[in-house]
């Protein structure tokens, strides 16, 4: 592959950066410096503007509300959005569900569900994990019983990000309890306003309300909301996971944090700060610079494979595990470099970088768990990449 961007792609990056400068708050507050509600409000405002530009789903076909843009162009969009900490995207809809529906959905489902995503009118959430089924997702127990003209769902989900704001959920449920575990699962589209759904918030380690626990009590799903065939939901689900893991977001977040940290250290060193003028700090930052470059290039390669119509599987896992762990390493290095100033939050006069480093550190653990833990990504790489037998 050629790692250089075309002239048109570079022009797009410039247009996007100008847009971000003129149409989003400057400087964009760090997420920890906004309340959940302020962040959601900003998300909806920016989402509308991005939809007007057609950028939310730019790599989708025009017939579904996209711009037929290449995966590389879309990568540039996501890279800059993540680097500049801009809220607004619904990756559940645009990156995960949309492309999966294009493969497995009926024409009616595509017509009903794709346009609202590209127009930024809808928020999706992902109902996969359950209290006893995370890494071993195929063991899930939520049941969807065929009642003739509808399915009746009972059970529950956990860690469901954005469920409290979501209009729709992509739901995995067991339709055949006696079939082998991977074969008895079906994939549904569930209207979150349906009677019988209870949502309880779970506050994360960073003190934010992002995920939830969900309870289903006799929830009815119309038959036409089944995606693909009954009992074939596992294949739909894993296709969606490959789309989920293939973003550049972790790599871009790592780069942003490293750039902020490096800028802070340079300023301090130039001002003669002895504590921050140490060889080991420069050495550590240089090592992380190499890692962030590698993380970025792995993501570029993943996007390039997509542009060649190759579905990245092991590459998506490599990109996810290396990007999220690099972000974690940069955040941990930040704590080490800032020392006793690191844990201070933005409301403290002595805080460094408005408390952003400690906030990133707390978030960095979630990234190595969400969308499949690092151990699971390595299992995939061992199996699909190195052809090692499963054990
Ligand atoms: C920030 C965040 C957002 C999330 N959002 C969503 C969401 O929107 N929707 C959703 O459905 N889920 C969501 N999740 C849940 C996430 O998918 C699960 O947490 C994840 O799959 C791990 O499952 P678990 O928590 O049950 O851990 P477990 O599966 O119980 O794993 C516990 C530990 O055992 C290890 N382990 C398990 N099996 C193996 C194995 N075979 N080989 C090696 N090690 C193994 C794991 O790596 C982990 O370290 C989210 C999680 C986080 C952190």
The pLDDT value given to residue 245: 83
Distance of alpha carbon 7 from alpha carbon 122, whole angstroms = 33
* Distance from the alpha carbon of residue 162 to the mean position of ligand 1, in angstroms: 17
pLDDT above 80 for 391: no
Residue 143 DSSP label = E
| 378 within 8 A of 321, measured Cβ to Cβ | yes
Is 211 close to ligand 1, i.e. is its CB under 6 Å away? Answer: yes
Q: What is the pLDDT of residue 310?
A: 87
- Measure 87 CA to ligand 1 centroid, in angstroms: 24
Kindly report the average pLDDT of the chain as a whole number: 95
CA distance 230 to 280: 58
Domains and CATH numbers, the chain: 7-89 (no CATH), 125-232 (2.40.110.10), 245-385 (1.20.140.10)
pLDDT at 289: 98
Residues 359/331, Cβ–Cβ less than 8 Å: no
Per-residue pLDDT of 96-131, as tens digits, reads: 999 999 999 999 999 999 999 999 999 999 999 999
Give the global pTM.
0.95
376 lines ligand 1 (CB under 6 A): yes
Burial class (CB in 10 A: 0-12, 13-18, 19+), 328: buried
Is residue 174 within 8 A of residue 140, CB to CB? The reply is yes
On whether the CB atoms of residues 219 and 257 are closer than 8 A, the answer is no
Q: Helix and strand tally (H, E) in the chain?
A: 12, 8
- Separation of 241 CA from ligand 1 center, angstroms? 13
Burial class (CB in 10 A: 0-12, 13-18, 19+), 230: middle
- Whether ligand 1 lies within 6 angstroms of the CB of 134 is answered as yes
pLDDT for residue 358 is more than 90: yes
Q: What is the DSSP letter of 161?
A: T
Predicted confidence at residue 206, as pLDDT, reads 83
C-alpha 369 to ligand 1 mean position (Å): 5
The per-residue pLDDT for range 224-265, each reduced to its tens digit, is: 999 999 999 999 999 999 888 888 999 999 999 999 999 999
Q: Which is nearest to 185 in space by CA: 139, 216, 225? A: 139
The model's pLDDT over 158-189, given as tens digits with 9 standing for 90+, comes to 999 999 999 999 999 999 999 999 999 999 99
Q: What is the pLDDT of residue 242?
A: 85
DSSP one-letter string for 224-236: GGEESSTTBHHHH
> What is the mean predicted confidence (pLDDT) over 349-354?
89
159 lines ligand 1 (CB under 6 A): yes
DSSP 16-32: HHHHHHHHS-SSPPPGG
What are the backbone dihedrals phi and psi of residue 317, each rounded to the nearest 5 degrees, phi first? -65, -40
| Tens-place pLDDT, residues 279-310 | 999 999 999 999 999 999 999 999 999 888 88
Determine if ligand 1 sits within 6 Å of the CB of residue 135. yes
DSSP letter (8 states) at residue 390? P
Query: What is the structure's pLDDT at 28?
Result: 87
């Amino acid at each position: 592959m050629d790692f250089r961007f075309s002239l048109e792609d570079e022009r797009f990056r410039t247009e996007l950066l100008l847009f971000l400068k003129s149409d989003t708050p400057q400087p964009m507050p760090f997420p920890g410096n906004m309340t959940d509600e302020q962040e959601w409000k900003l998300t909806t405002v920016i989402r509308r503007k991005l939809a007007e530009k057609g950028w939310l789903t730019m790599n989708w076909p025009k017939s579904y509300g996209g711009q037929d843009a290449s995966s590389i162009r879309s990568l540039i969009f996501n890279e800059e959005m993540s680097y500049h900490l801009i809220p607004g995207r619904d990756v559940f809809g645009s990156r995960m569900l949309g492309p999966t529906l294009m493969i497995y959905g009926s024409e009616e489902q595509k017509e009903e569900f794709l346009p609202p995503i590209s127009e930024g009118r809808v928020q999706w959430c992902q109902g996969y994990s359950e209290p006893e089924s995370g890494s071993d997702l195929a063991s899930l127990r939520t049941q969807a019983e065929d009642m003739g003209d509808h399915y009746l769902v009972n059970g529950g989900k956990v860690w469901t990000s954005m469920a409290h704001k979501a209009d729709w959920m992509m739901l995995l449920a067991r339709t055949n309890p006696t079939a082998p575990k991977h074969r008895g699962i079906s994939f549904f589209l569930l209207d979150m306003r349906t009677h019988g759904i209870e949502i309880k918030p779970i506050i994360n380690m960073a003190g934010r309300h992002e995920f939830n626990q969900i309870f289903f009590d006799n929830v009815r799903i119309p038959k036409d909301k089944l995606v693909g065939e009954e009992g074939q939901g596992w294949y739909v689900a894993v296709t969606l996971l490959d789309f989920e893991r293939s973003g550049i977001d972790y790599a871009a977040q790592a780069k942003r944090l490293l750039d902020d940290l490096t800028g802070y250290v340079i300023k301090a060193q130039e001002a003669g700060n002895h504590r921050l003028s140490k060889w080991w700090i420069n050495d550590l930052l240089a090592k992380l610079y190499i890692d962030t470059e590698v993380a970025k290039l792995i993501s570029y390669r993943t996007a390039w494979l997509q542009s060649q119509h190759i579905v990245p599987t092991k590459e998506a896992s490599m990109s996810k595990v290396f990007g999220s762990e690099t972000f974690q390493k940069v955040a941990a290095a930040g704590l080490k470099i800032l020392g006793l100033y690191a844990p201070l939050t933005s409301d403290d006069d002595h805080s460094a970088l408005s408390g952003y480093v400690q906030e990133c550190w707390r978030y960095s653990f979630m990234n190595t768990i969400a969308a499949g833990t690092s151990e699971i990504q390595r299992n995939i790489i061992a199996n699909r990449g190195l052809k090692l037998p499963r054990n």
